[in-house]
């Protein structure tokens, strides 16, 4: 006696709705994650240029400190004062004590005192790897 299989019935019970839901959730996750990664580099800061600047070849674990033309400090999109910047730097050292790096992005119209303040805070909390950006590149 031969067994008869109905091919249409097996494919008819397979629902693609959960698969489509998962694909849309993954798409939303990657769109949001990409947005947060770009947020630190999108602050409108005019950087000075340098002829000897070289691009980064490896993406280090770094913390961006942005300084606008009025001397306001920004970390992760939040406006902070000097004491709050120090607290964030201390927390960064606690989270990553060996190879924490700080990238200081200061507007070229701001006084050098603000960038020096951040460098001094880095030294105070124990971060020796800090850089001042010039025209989008670190040096």
Predicted confidence at residue 15, as pLDDT, reads: 77
The confidence score (pLDDT) of residue 33 equals 76
Q: What is the pLDDT of residue 95?
A: 83
- At 9-48, the pLDDT tens digits run 555 667 788 889 999 999 998 887 777 666 666 677 777 7
For residue 85, the model assigns a pLDDT of 93
Spans in the chain with pLDDT lower than 50: 57-60, 136, 138-139
- CB half-sphere exposure, 59, CA atoms < 13 A: 1
Q: What is the pLDDT of residue 133?
A: 85
d(CA 124, CA 81): 16
d(C-alpha 121, C-alpha 89), whole Å: 8
């Amino acid at each position: 006696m031969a067994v008869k299989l109905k091919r249409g019935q097996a494919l008819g019970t397979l629902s693609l709705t959960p698969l489509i839901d998962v694909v849309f959730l993954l798409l939303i996750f990657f769109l949001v994650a990409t947005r947060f990664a770009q947020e630190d580099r999108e602050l409108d800061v005019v950087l000075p240029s340098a002829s000897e600047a070289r691009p980064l070849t490896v993406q280090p674990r770094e913390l961006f400190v942005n300084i606008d033309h009025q001397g306001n400090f920004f970390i992760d999109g939040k406006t902070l004062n000097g004491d709050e910047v120090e607290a964030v730097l201390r927390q960064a050292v606690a989270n990553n004590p060996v190879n924490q790096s700080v990238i200081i992005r200061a507007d070229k119209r701001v006084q050098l005192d603000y960038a020096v303040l951040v460098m001094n805070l880095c030294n105070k909390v124990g971060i020796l790897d800090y850089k001042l950006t010039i025209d989008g590149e670190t040096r």
